Amino acid sequence: MHRNNPILLGAIPAVPPNDDTFYRGTYRCAGVWRQLEAAGVPGVQGVWSHEAGGSRMWLTVSIKQMYPGHAKQAGLIASQCHAGAYANKYVVVVDEDIDPANMNDVIWAMCTRVDAREDVEILRGCWSTTLDPTSYPDDLRIHNSRMVIDACKPWARRADFPKVARSSKELDQRIKAKWAKVLPRGV
């Protein structure tokens, strides 16, 4: 079978976003969500595998906290369950008020709810791939380290943690509609 000027289809592992990151991310986050629930982690509100991480190297899990250690449990299991373990580098667990697919919300939660001393775990010797430029060989296997970040409000301070100051979605929509001609696209 020969064709002049063939159209070659494929998913090139290039800088995201690309075809590969779009389709792989949805499958991965669905698998992680299913495996979190199968492991008995309650209150999962959402899982997102970010395109910026090639849909393998960054996971965000949104939970409704139900008990002390819940966020850390969700993050550790997401980082090690089969669907989330391969080539993973970062797992961020956020509260249910954070959209796991909105990177600005996730980074905001990290900046306002993480105490690096208490809320960051570093795991060593995790399953990786030679495609990870920071992986390290150990015998004949490839490993990496990964970070699990609890970006939820501290369990012990839920009652007195500062309230979030933001406008309502309705007000945001009205302002965007009113000023659409002068606002940059995507705002």
Which pLDDT does position 185 carry in this prediction? 76
Residue 181 lies in a domain: no
How many domains in the chain? 1
Count Cα neighbours of 145 within 13 Å in the Cβ-side half-sphere. 7
Q: Residue 55 in 3-state DSSP?
A: coil
Place of tokens 């696209």: 185
Instruction: Tell me the pLDDT tens digit for each residue of 67-77.
Output: 999 999 999 99
CB atoms within 10 A of CB 74: 27
In Å, the largest CA–CA distance within the chain is 70
Q: Look at residues 79, 53, 72, 89 and name the one whose alpha carbon lies nearest to residue 152.
A: 72
Evaluated on CA atoms 18, 21, 27, 33, the torsion sign reads negative
Q: Domain span at residue 150?
A: 19-158
**Parallel, antiparallel, or unpaired for β 44-49 and 58-63?**
antiparallel
Instruction: Tell me the pLDDT tens digit for each residue of 56-66.
Output: 899 999 999 99
pLDDT at 17 over 90: no
Q: pTM, whole model, 2 decimals?
A: 0.85
Residue 7 lies in a domain: no
Q: Retrieve residue 110's tokens.
A: 């990290």
Residues 24, 12: Cα–Cα separation, whole Å? 12
Residue 27 lies in a domain: yes
Instruction: Tell me the pLDDT tens digit for each residue of 126-181.
Output: 999 888 888 888 767 899 999 999 999 999 999 999 999 989 989 989 999 999 89
Residue 102 lies in a domain: yes
Residue 84 lies in a domain: yes
Residue 94 lies in a domain: yes
